[in-house]
Amino acid sequence: MAIKSKGLLIDITRCIGCDACSENCKAVNDLPPQVAPELDSDNWTVVYRREQEQYVRNLCRHCADPACVSACPVAALTKEESGAVLYDKDVCLGCRYCMTACAFRILTFEWFSYNPRIRKCVLCDARIKEGKSTGCAEACPTEATVFGDLDTLVKVAKARIADQPKKYHDYIYGLDEAGGTSVLYLTSVPFEKLGFDMTVPKYPLPQLTWQVLKQVPTIVGVGAAFLGGSYFLFKRRAAVAAAEEAAKSGKGDKGGGHA
Amino acid sequence: MLKYITPWRVLIALVFLTTAIIVFIRFYGGLGTVTNLSDQTPWGIWVGFDILAGVALAAGGFVMAATVYVFQIKRFKPLVRMAILTAMLGYILFIIGLVVEIGRPWNIFSIFYSPNIHSPLFEVALCVVTYTTVLVLEFSLVVFERLGWNRLVHFHHKVSVVLVVIGILLSTLHQSTLGTLFTLVPHKMHALWYSQIQPVHFFISCVAAGMGMVCFEAFLSYRFTKHPLPTGLMRTLIRVMSYVLVLFFIVRIGDLAVRGELWRVAEGKPAAMFWLENLLFVFIPVVMIYRKLPLTAKRLFIISFSVVLGLVMHRFNIAVSSFEFVKSTGYFPTWTEFMLSIALVMFGFVAAGLAVYFFPMHPKEPKSDRLAGRETYRIAWPVSE
C-alpha cells in the first residue's frame, strides 16, 4: 500500500529549546547519548540557541528532489516513498560528493573511522512504515515539531500564518527552497536573523547537472562523426599531397604525410 | 654502490616513506587523522589538486593524439608518445590518489552494479576507467616495440586510430563533466568560479593546460635522456596554446558579464585570487609569447610552468577556495595532505623517468640531429602504414 509523503513542521515560536527531540532521536536511532552543539555523524538533529531566546532545530530536510540523491554516482542515497532520503553504506564509495552537493550543508561523515559512512537524519523511515511518527516529533512537549502528511502540514503552516499574521513572519522556509523540502519552518522573526541560508535556490537543483548530462549522447554522436570525418578527410589530403610530391620528385619520401 | 645515492634520490625516498606512513594512518584511523577536512569542508586539496588538476594536466594525451592521428598534423609526432605516456601515468596517479581520497574505496566496483546515470560523477568514473584502459592500450605500442613483437606492433598501427577516437570522446566527456560536478551548487560557490557553463570552462582550460604540460614534459624528457629538445615544435605548440588561453579568458569574462557578476572582479580577496589565477594561467604566458622576444628554451619553460601552475590554482579555487569565500570554515591543508600530493607528483616524475629510460620514447631518430630545435625536425618513426 502506498503511503503519502510525510514531513515535519517546525514552529520556532513554540520551541523552548529543551533538546528532547535530539535526545529521543538518539534513543530511537541507537546513537551515543551525548548531545553535541553541531550536526555530526552521531548527531542527526541539533537545536541552535539564537538571540532573543529563539531555538532553531537543524536536520536533513529530505528534499523533494534531493541534490545528494542525484549527485551520488552509485545510488547509495535514495528518496523513499515516505519522503525520507536514505543511505546505503554497502554501495557507498565515500566520495562525499553528496556532502558538497547538499544545499543545506547537512550531511556528515565519519572522519575518524577506517570504514566511514555518510550519516544524517533518516526521517525515522522504519518507524513511519510501522505507522508511527518520528522520534523527534513524538518527544516534543510543545508541538514545536509536528509530524504528518506533507500536504497537510503545508496547509497547517499556511493556516497558522493566515490566522495570526501579527505573530508569524510571512514565509514558510522549506516550501520552495531547493524545489521544496519535507521539513517546513515557521517563525516570528525573519529567517535571515536566525541563521537560515536565504541564498538556497528556489528550484530543484538536480536539473542543473541533468541539463548538461542529457547532452552526452549528442556530444558522443556529433563528436564521433566529426572526428571520423576529419580523419578520413585529412588522411585523403595527406595521401594526395604525398602522391603529388612523389610524382614531382619521381621518388617518394616514405615518411611523408606531414602537413 | 655509493654513486647511486644522490641528494634527490634520498629526498624522494624520504617523501615516499613518509607518505607510506601517512597513507597507513589514513586507512587505520580515517581521513580525519591526516587531513583538515570536516563536514563543512568535505573536499580539500586532494580533490582540487590530485584529482581536478591531475586530470586536466593529463589532457595533453588526447590533444596530441587528436592533432597527429585525426587531423594528420604529423609534425607533432615526436611529442605524442611522451604525451600519451604522461597521460597514462597521470590517470594511474589519479586513481591511486582517488583510492586514498575516497572513504570506502573497497566499494569502487559499485559504479558497475549500482550506477546512477543522473550523477555527473558516475559519468566521470566510467569515462576515467575506460579511458585509462584506452591509454594503456595506446601505450602498449611502445611496449610491443621494446619487446620486438612486430606482429602486434603492426596490428596496433591498424587499430590505433579507433583507440584514439574513443580516447578523444571519453576525454571530452569526463574533462568537461568534472566541471559539471560544480554546476550543482550555485549558492555554495563564489560567483567568480561558479558557472552554469563550467563544463565548457573545464574543457577549454584542459586543452590549454594539456598543451602546456606536453611542453613541460619535453623538458622532463630532456632532463632524463639528454635527447635534444624539439624546441621548434614546442614553439608552435605554445603559440597554439596561447589562442586557447585567450579563448578561455574571453569565455570566462563573457560568462561573468552575461550573469551580471562582472563587478566582482574588483571586489576583495576573491578578486585578488581571480587575477592571480589568470596572471599565471593566461597573462604571463600570452604576454611572453607575443612580446617580440625569441622563444628560447628557458622562456618556453617559464611559459609552460606558468600555465601548469595557473591551472592547478584554478582547479584548487574551484574545489576549495570558492566554497571558502562563501562560507568560511578555515580549511587549510595539513602538511600530511600536501605530502601525499607532493609524493604523487614525485611518483609521476620517477615513473616517467624510468619509462623514458626503458622504453623507446624517441625511436628511429638520427643519432646526432644537428637540426633538432628547428622546424625541419622530421621524424620517420612508424606511421600508421
Q: Measure A132 CA to nearest chain B CA, in Å.
A: 31
Are A22 and A101 in a shared domain? yes
Residue B240 grid cell: 597554439
pLDDT value of residue B74: 85
Are A21 and A54 in a shared domain? yes
In a domain, A111, yes or no: yes
Q: What is the pLDDT of residues A85-114, one digit of tens each?
A: 999 999 999 999 999 999 999 999 999 999
Distances (CA, A) of B139 to A3, B72, B187, B344: 56, 19, 43, 21
Are A124 and A183 in a shared domain? yes
Number of A:B CB contacts under 8 A?
A: 198
pLDDT value of residue A242: 86
Are A50 and A154 in a shared domain? yes
CB contact under 8 A, B110 and A219: no
E strands in chain A: 6-11, 46-50, 54-58, 77-79, 85-87, 108-109, 118-119, 145-149, 183-186
B-interface mutation test, from A92, A209, A214, most B Cβ less than 10 A away: A209
Q: What is the mean pLDDT of chain A?
A: 91
Chain A residues in contact with B191 (beta carbon < 8 A): none
pLDDT value of residue B222: 79
Average pLDDT of adjacent 10-residue blocks, chain B of 385 residues? 80 94 95 94 93 93 91 86 88 92 94 93 93 91 85 85 91 94 95 94 96 89 77 89 96 94 89 95 92 83 94 95 91 94 91 82 50 37 36
Alpha carbons B335 and B25: distance in angstroms, whole number: 14
Are A132 and A17 in a shared domain? yes
pLDDT value of residue B1: 63
pLDDT value of residue A252: 45
pLDDT value of residue B179: 95
Find out whether A11 and A143 touch, Cβ atoms under 8 Å: yes
Are A135 and A20 in a shared domain? yes
Q: Does A67 touch chain B (CB under 8 A)?
A: yes
Q: Does A94 touch chain B (CB under 8 A)?
A: yes
In a domain, A1, yes or no: no
Half-sphere exposure of B251 (CA within 13 A, CB side): 19
Q: What is the pLDDT of residues A179-231, one digit of tens each?
A: 999 999 999 999 999 999 999 999 999 999 999 999 989 999 999 999 989 98
| CATH class of the region B49-354 | mainly alpha
Alpha carbons B49 and B85: distance in angstroms, whole number: 20
Are A232 and A200 in a shared domain? no
Length of chain B counted residue by residue: 385
Close Cβ partners of B261 (under 8 Å, ≥ 6 residues apart): B191, B192
CB contact under 8 A, A93 and B105: yes
Q: Does A241 touch chain B (CB under 8 A)?
A: no
Please state the ipTM of this predicted complex: 0.89
Q: Measure B6 CA to nearest chain A CA, in Å.
A: 37
Chain B residues in contact with A219 (beta carbon < 8 A): 169, 172-173
pLDDT value of residue B364: 53
Q: What is the mean pLDDT of residues A118-130?
A: 93
In a domain, A162, yes or no: yes
Range of the domain at A227: 215-249
Domain ranges of chain B: 49-354
CB contact under 8 A, A74 and B40: no
Are A198 and A235 in a shared domain? no
CB contact under 8 A, B184 and A208: yes
A-interface mutation test, from B114, B160, B195, B334, most A Cβ less than 10 A away: B114
For chain A positions 181-240, those within 8 Å of chain B (CB to CB) are 197, 199-201, 205-206, 208-210, 212-213, 216, 219-220, 223-224, 227-228, 230-231, 234-235, 237-238
pLDDT value of residue B194: 95
pLDDT value of residue B382: 38
pLDDT value of residue B352: 85
Are A221 and A192 in a shared domain? no
Alpha carbons B285 and B44: distance in angstroms, whole number: 28
Q: Measure A73 CA to nearest chain B CA, in Å.
A: 4
For chain A positions 100-119, those within 8 Å of chain B (CB to CB) are 100-101, 103, 105, 107-116
Are A133 and A227 in a shared domain? no
Residue B325 grid cell: 569565500
- Structurally, how many domains does chain A consist of? 2
In a domain, A137, yes or no: yes
In a domain, A219, yes or no: yes
Nearest to A115 among B72, B104, B125 (CB): B104
